């Protein structure tokens, strides 16, 4: 399969996950746990079929970072899936997509990278866009205050984005380990850490797993995670980093469109403007330019 087709397929798959999760009547932590377990099993099966063995030496060398980042992946999923329950898929996804902005903000302190004027302006535009997407201004204009506005979904989406940014930064610290080994260990760690969390926070006796929710869970775990990750990792090795970054925008754009078309979650003009500011600023920040711009 052509590398560009692989990454387009992966991003389209990632962009539809919110619609599937919305129709799974289970706690977010349970969905995240099942997703991690199914994806881990699937990726191990793919590696076995391709006679690819995990590099034990590389895994042991990076074990601490892999386990911690894996745990963060699990809680990142919980926050994002929970955000879908409190706000629209579009708003949750856009808030989550602030992750690249958080990486830019943290990079000078964590990675020692220079924060250029262009990136500073992009951060400011993205944060302003987040305010518009959150609906704070619209609510204030309509009712005169923001006390009645539930920002839970927005805060959860931003929290998920912040965790994902942390995972990105931690992954940059990994040394001499393949993307497959990294993903398998992180997903396994996420699953292991989520087990006690689910046992402590969810009354397992009250869970009702229907045939429909079972099918949706299988799709989210195998298709949206396992297969999508295989396609994604298979493409990034063959494509320039900038091309990967550009195609990554299929995910949030599709999520916004499906939110409106399938879930009938409308956005007003200010929210649409905010979406353009968030996606536009992160896109511009990733375009290669003069090192000092």
pLDDT in tens, the chain (293 residues): 788 898 899 999 999 999 999 899 999 999 999 999 999 999 999 888 988 888 999 999 999 999 999 999 999 999 999 998 888 888 888 888 888 888 888 888 887 878 788 888 888 888 888 878 776 666 555 555 544 446 788 899 999 999 988 998 888 888 888 888 888 999 999 999 999 999 998 888 888 889 999 999 999 999 999 899 888 877 877 777 667 777 888 888 888 888 888 888 777 788 888 888 888 887 887 765 544 55
> Model pTM?
0.83
Q: Is 25 part of any domain?
A: yes
Q: Is 29 part of any domain?
A: yes
Write the CB contacts of 228 (distance below 8 Å, at least 6 apart in sequence): 9, 10, 13, 14
Tally of CA atoms within 13 A in the half-sphere of 126 that contains its CB: 28
The CA–CA distances, whole Å, from 280 to 105, 174, 246, 259, 272 equal 17, 30, 11, 19, 12
Q: Is 273 part of any domain?
A: yes
Helices (H), 172-249: 179-201, 211-218, 228-236, 241-247
Q: Is 291 part of any domain?
A: no
Q: Is 292 part of any domain?
A: no
Q: Is 165 part of any domain?
A: yes
* pLDDT of the residue at 17: 93
CA distance 75 to 133: 23
What is the number of structural domains in the chain? 1
Q: Is 250 part of any domain?
A: yes
Write the CB contacts of 90 (distance below 8 Å, at least 6 apart in sequence): 255, 256, 259, 260, 265, 267, 271, 275
**Encoded tokens for 249:** 């925008």
Q: Is 265 part of any domain?
A: yes
- Domain encompassing residue 245: 3-286
């Amino acid at each position: 399969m052509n590398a560009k087709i692989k990454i387009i397929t992966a991003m389209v798959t990632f962009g539809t996950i919110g619609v599937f999760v919305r129709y799974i009547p289970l706690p977010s932590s349970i969905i995240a746990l099942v997703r991690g377990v199914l994806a881990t099993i699937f990726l191990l099966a793919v590696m076995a079929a391709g006679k690819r063995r995990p590099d034990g030496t590389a895994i042991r060398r990076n074990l601490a970072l892999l386990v911690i980042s894996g745990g963060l992946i699990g809680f990142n999923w919980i926050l994002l899936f929970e955000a879908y329950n409190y706000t629209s898929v579009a708003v949750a996804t856009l808030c989550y997509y602030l992750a690249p902005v958080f990486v830019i903000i943290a990079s000078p302190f964590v990675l020692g990278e220079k924060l250029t004027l262009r990136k500073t302006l992009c951060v400011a535009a993205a944060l302003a866009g987040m305010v518009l997407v959150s609906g704070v201004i619209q609510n204030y204009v309509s009712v005169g205050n923001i006390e009645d506005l539930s920002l839970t979904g927005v805060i959860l989406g931003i929290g998920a984005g912040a965790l994902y940014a942390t995972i990105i930064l931690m992954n940059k610290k990994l040394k001499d380990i393949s993307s497959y080994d990294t993903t398998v260990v992180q997903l396994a760690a996420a699953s292991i850490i989520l087990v006690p969390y689910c046992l402590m926070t969810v009354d397992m006796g009250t869970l009702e797993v229907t045939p429909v929710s079972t099918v949706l869970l299988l799709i989210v775990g195998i298709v949206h995670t396992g297969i999508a990750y295989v396609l994604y990792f298979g493409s990034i090795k063959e494509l320039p980093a900038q091309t990967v970054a550009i195609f990554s925008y299929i995910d949030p754009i599709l999520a916004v469109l499906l939110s409106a078309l399938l879930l009938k979650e409308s956005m007003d003009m200010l929210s649409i403007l905010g979406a353009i500011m968030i996606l536009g600023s992160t896109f511009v920040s990733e375009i290669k330019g003069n090192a000092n711009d």
